[in-house]
Structure 1
Amino acid sequence: MNSCLYQGVLRHRRLQPKAHHFRYRIFMAWLDLDELDRLGEAGIRRNRFAAASFYDADYPLGTPLKAQVLNRLESLTGARPDGRVMLLTQLRYLGFHFNPVNFYYCYDGAGTLRWVLAEVRNTPWNERHYYAVDGQRARPLAKAFHVSPFNPMDMVYL
C-alpha cells in the first residue's frame, strides 16, 4: 500500500498589518487515489463515521476522484499524466473536518512528478479555486482567489 501518514511542522508568519506567527506539529494523510477502496486496511473508514474517515463529499471534484483530478488538470494545462495520483489531505477525525488546502500530486507512468494540483478553499465562504503547479520547473502563478483579508489580490506566488 502506497498510502500513509506524514508528520511535519506547519509554520506561518505575518509582519503586517499586525505581527502574528504560529508553529504547529501536524500530520496529514498521503493517499494513493487508486487505493481509496483499501483505506479500511489502514483503519480509515470511507464515507462512515469513525475516529478517522475519508468522505467523498469532502472532495467536490466528484467521483471517481482520480479521473476528476486529471480532468481538472487537463482543463487547466492541457496535460494528463498517466501515472499515480497522490492526495495530501486532512481526513475527518471524529466527524470534524478542517481542510483549507488539498494537494494532488500527479505523476507520469515512469514515476516522475509532472504536476501538483492545489485545491484551495476560503473557509468562511466555502469557495474553492484550483492552481496547477508544474512539477518540473518553477513558474510564477498569479493570485486568482481571495483567502486572507491581509493580502491583496494583485500578488504573484513564486
Structure 2
Amino acid sequence: MNASPGQVPALYPSVITHVRTSPRHYRLTHRTYLWLIDLDEPPRLPLALRPLARFNGRDHFGGGTTDIKAGLQAFLATHGITLDGGRVLMLAHARVLGYVFNPLSLYWCHGPDGELRCVVAEVHNTYGERHCYLLSPDAAQSADVPKEFYVSPFFPVEGEYRMRLPTPGERLGVTLHFDQGGRRRFTATVRGERRPATTGVLLRAAVRHPWSTLAVSVAIRRHGIALWLRGLPVQKRPRHRPQEGMK
C-alpha cells in the first residue's frame, strides 16, 4: 500500500469536537482517524491489513450494492444529477475489525472537467437509520440546508444546518452548525492533518486508536447518557422514511 502526500488514499488523524450551547452548555472532544479515498480507486491493502480498513457499499446509502459509487449515483439520479464519470472523494471511517459507524460521511462530487458539482453529506444515527443531504457549496465553501433527520435525542428535527466543507488538502477542516429559532444550538468541527496511507501510517493509527469505529459509537452513547443524567429532556423520535434511491 503506497501513497504520497497530496494524493489519495490518505489518512487524517483528527480531533472531533462537539459543543452544545443550548439548552445546556456541554463540550466533548474525541480523537480518531478518517480516510479520504477516491471511490474509483479504493485502497488496496495487503491481505493481513484488510481487517483494519474495508469499504463496502452495504455500509452506505441504501446498502443495496457492494459499490459505494453506485449507491451515490443512484441517490444523485433522484435529484437529476449525473457526474459523467467525474471523480468522487469520500471522507469517512473504514470498517475496522468487522465494525463501522459513520456519524457523517462526506462526498465531494466532481464532473469530468474536475469542477465540483455538489457535496453529499450522509448522516447515520445510532438507531440504524441514515439520511443524505445534497449540498451546493458557495464560493466560501459553505452550504445551508434544513435539518430533516433525527440524530441527537436531545434536539428536535426542526432547524437548519450550516456546513463549511472545504475539500481536504494538507489539512482537514470541516464545520457543522445547527441553528434553531435564530439561535445556535450546536457546533461540530473535524480538524486533522493529511498523512500518506502507507502501511506504517495505518498501523500507527490503529495502535493509537484501536477498534476506532466502535470507539466512536461508544463515545456517542456515553456522552448521551451523561447529558441525560444532567436532566436534558429527550425529544420524541419521528418515524424515518427512507429516501428515494436509498431503499
Kindly provide the amino acid, as one letter, of the partner of residue 134 in structure 1. Answer: S
- For 1:23-57, what per-residue CA distance to the aligned partner results, in whole angstroms no more than 9, with x for missing partners? 23321011111113x52269752xxxx23333442
Kindly provide the amino acid, as one letter, of the partner of residue 6 in structure 1. Answer: Y
> Quick check: 2:56–2:68 contact (8 Å CA) kept in 1?
no
Q: Which runs of 5+ in 1 are unaligned?
A: none
CA distance in 1, matches of 2:30, 2:47: 25
> Quick check: 2:57–2:64 contact (8 Å CA) kept in 1?
no
Structure 2 match to 1:89: 92
2:4 corresponds to 1:3? no
Q: Which runs of 5+ in 2 are unaligned?
A: 163-247
Structure 2 match to 1:129: 131
Kindly provide the amino acid, as one letter, of the partner of residue 44 in structure 2. Answer: L
- For 1:81-119, what per-residue CA distance to the aligned partner results, in whole angstroms no more than 9, with x for missing partners? 231011111012222322222111101112222211111
* Alignment equivalent of 2:155, drawn from 146, 151, 155: 151
Distance 1:42 1:108, change over 3 A: farther
Alignment TM-score, normalising by the size of structure 2: 0.54
> Aligned-pair distance for 1:16?
2.7
> Aligned-pair distance for 1:68?
2.3
Structure 2 match to 1:20: 26
Distance 1:140 1:51, change over 3 A: closer
1:30-45 matched pairs, under 5 angstroms: 30-36=36-42, 38-40=43-45, 45=50
> Quick check: 1:43–1:52 contact (8 Å CA) kept in 2?
no
Give the secondary structure class of the aligned counterpart of 1:71: helix
> Aligned-pair distance for 1:61?
5.3
Distance 1:42 1:113, change over 3 A: farther
> Aligned-pair distance for 1:13?
0.5
> Aligned-pair distance for 1:15?
2.4
> Quick check: 1:56–1:62 contact (8 Å CA) kept in 2?
yes
**Paired residue total:** 151
Alignment TM-score, normalising by the size of structure 1: 0.81
CA distance in 1, matches of 2:91, 2:114: 17
Larger radius of gyration: 2
RMSD across aligned positions (CA):
2.3
CA distance in 1, matches of 2:91, 2:47: 16
